[in-house]
Structures are given as structure tokens and as C-alpha cells.
Amino acid sequence: MSKQQKLERKILWISLSTGLFFVIFEFMIAIYTKSQSVLMDAAYDASELLMIGLTLFLIPLFHRPVSEKHPFGYGQIESFLVIIKGFMLLAVTLGLSANSVEIALSGGNIVDGKLVSIFQFIIAIASLAVLYFMMRINRSLSSPIINLEIYGWKIDVVYSIGMGVAFFASTFLEGTKLAFISPYFDQIIAVFIILFMLPEALKMLVRAIKDVFLFSPEKEVMEKVKEISENVLQDTDLHAVFYDVTRTGRRMWISIYFAVKKDYLHVETLGNITNQINAELAEQFDNCICELVLAKKE
């Protein structure tokens, strides 16, 4: 097992163990306070744990090199995992959304805003500590999976702080003209959670489906690839005429079809240009391979 695999597994185990503790704590608070927003947060975190567990099991496959039998390696497995995760998040969202609407139509429910607020601030502080520790380990590591996991913990920190502030503010509604909102405040927060989480889940799902069918990446990625490549090619006799970019999982393959301005081209020169483009792309993208393909004579 390589050093990168060991570090990936270490960070994922940290995320899995601490996340499991948080989920148990969240479900207990959700049952005690009957809070839909806390329950929804716990459900999302539980689905994340399942994906972390699957990722831990499949990490060795992601590092296997491409071969004649597996020309794309096992990168598509990562895309399938993201698709599963996306559908799980959508199912959880729709199920809990229906429950929230049912409670709201039944007159809502009043939760202990102070208790939920204190709980969310505790979760935020603990999440911040875990995030700091994971980022220290990740200094010498470049992994799409770990970067995504760290991003998720950053979202958890901001989200918990936001919920803590919101429920703390709700305790001041009593005795005001807005007191009628109190029974529905928890459902309102749950709706905001849906609006916050759903776009990201849909975005991940669409990207993974595109990766499975080997569609080209997002417009931003394509523009960056072209910008980097053109900066290298502009000082050469090569002219790019077509870009074929395929991404699946953590791997991305780039074929640049080019025309040459002269009647000849040294193989050594072509190799040097290819190496330079790959070096430039490696600074922006992980697990990226670029090749230059002669398209026609200009």
C-alpha cells in the first residue's frame, strides 16, 4: 500500500469514526427535541457515513493503473459511488420534506430553541477541530476524495453555526408579533436545509452521470484545459484544432489534435511539448494525462 493510500485511509477513518459519533448524538437530540431540522441533518450525515465506508473498501481499486483490459482503470466506480450518494440524498430529502410538510399542516411543533442552539454550537466547535486535524494531514496529499471530504466538513462547520444562530434568535420571538412563527420555525429551518443541500446533491449527480457516459467535463474545466495548453503551444509550430477531453472518477484524459506549420516535426520536440503541457496541467488537475495527436498537415 502506497503512502498516499495510507493517508487517504487515515483521513477517511477519522471522518468515519467522528461522523458516527456525531450522527448518534444528532439522532438522540432529534428524538428528544422532536426537531425536523436536526433529524434531517442526522439523515444527511448518516448517508455520508455509508459512502465513506464504501470508499474505504474501494480505495485500492482507485489507485490501480490503466491496462488493456481496463483502459479507464477503475475510475468509473467512483462515479457510480457518487450517483448512489446523489440518489440517497434525494431520497432522504424527499422523505423528510414530506414529513416536515405533514407536521406543518398539523399545526407545527415547538422545539427547545436554546437546547438545539447549544447543541449546534457544540457540533460546530467539534467539527472545526476535526477539520483542522484533517487539513494538517492533507498538507502532503493530493486526492479528489479527501478534498471532497474536507469540503464537506467545512460545510458542516458553517451549517452548524448558521443553525445555532438561527435557533438562538428564535428564542426572542416569544412575546413579539412574530410569536405565531414559533410552532413552524423548525419546519422553516428544515426547508432552508433542503434548499441548501439539494442543489449540491443534484450537481454531483449530474456530473457523475456525465462521467459514467464519458461526456466532456464542465465548461469551466474545458476552458482551463484550453488556456493552459494554448499558453504552451503558442511558442511552438503546433496549432490545436480539436480537444477531446474525457473524465471518469478521479482520472481525466486529454487528447489534443494538432496541425503542424512545417513539413516536418522532430519526435523529440513533440515529446518535450507533451511533457510541458502535462506538467502545466498537473498543477491544476490531479490524475490528468494529455497526449498530442497529429490531425492533418496545415
Which CATH number is 172's domain given?
1.20.1510.10
Higher pLDDT, 200 or 225: 225
Residue 263 in grid coordinates? 513539413
Most confident of 39-43, 191-195, 215-219, 278-282: 278-282
Mark which of 166, 196, 212 sits at the end of a domain: 212
Most confident of 139-143, 175-179, 241-245, 292-296: 241-245
CATH number, domain of 263, equals: 3.30.70.1350
Q: Domain check: are 135 and 156 in the same one? A: yes
Higher pLDDT, 256 or 144: 256
Res 63: pLDDT: 65
Cα torsion 132, 136, 139, 145: sign: negative
Q: Domain check: are 84 and 102 in the same one? A: yes
Mark which of 153, 186, 212 sits at the end of a domain: 212
Res 144: pLDDT: 59
Mark which of 187, 212, 237 sits at the end of a domain: 212
Q: Which residues is 256 bridged to in the sheet?
A: 243, 292
Q: Which residues is 240 bridged to in the sheet?
A: 258
Q: Domain check: are 173 and 280 in the same one? A: no
Q: Domain check: are 274 and 205 in the same one? A: no
Q: Domain check: are 168 and 232 in the same one? A: no
| Total number of domains constituting the chain | 2
239 vs 59, 282, 292, CA distance in Å? 39, 21, 11
Query: What whole-number distance in Å separates Cα of residue 163 and Cα of residue 38?
Result: 9
| pLDDT exceeds 60 at position 297 | no
Q: Domain check: are 104 and 158 in the same one? A: yes
Residue 167 in grid coordinates? 435557533
Residue 159 in grid coordinates? 451549517
pLDDT band at 257 (very low <50, low <70, confident <90, very high): very high
Query: What whole-number distance in Å separates Cα of residue 234 and Cα of residue 122?
Result: 55
HEC string of 193-218 equals HHHHHHHHHHHHHHHHHHHHCCCCCC
Query: What whole-number distance in Å separates Cα of residue 298 and Cα of residue 296?
Result: 6
The domain in which residue 287 lies consists of 219-297
State phi, psi for 109 to the nearest 5 degrees: -150, 145
Q: Which residues is 270 bridged to in the sheet?
A: none
Q: Domain check: are 263 and 157 in the same one? A: no
Query: What whole-number distance in Å separates Cα of residue 22 and Cα of residue 124?
Result: 11
Place of cell 493510500: 5
| pLDDT exceeds 80 at position 138 | no
Q: Domain check: are 131 and 270 in the same one? A: no
Q: Domain check: are 115 and 248 in the same one? A: no
Q: Domain check: are 228 and 146 in the same one? A: no
Q: Domain check: are 137 and 28 in the same one? A: yes
Contact predicate 281/290, CB 8 Å: yes
Average confidence score pLDDT of the chain: 78
| pLDDT exceeds 90 at position 179 | no
Spatial CB neighbours of 126, under 8 Å, sequence gap ≥ 6: 18, 22
pLDDT digits (tens, 9 = 90+) for 47-102: 778 878 877 777 777 667 666 676 666 666 767 777 777 777 677 667 666 766 66
The mean pLDDT value for 204-231 works out to 84
Contact predicate 245/223, CB 8 Å: no
Q: Domain check: are 204 and 227 in the same one? A: no
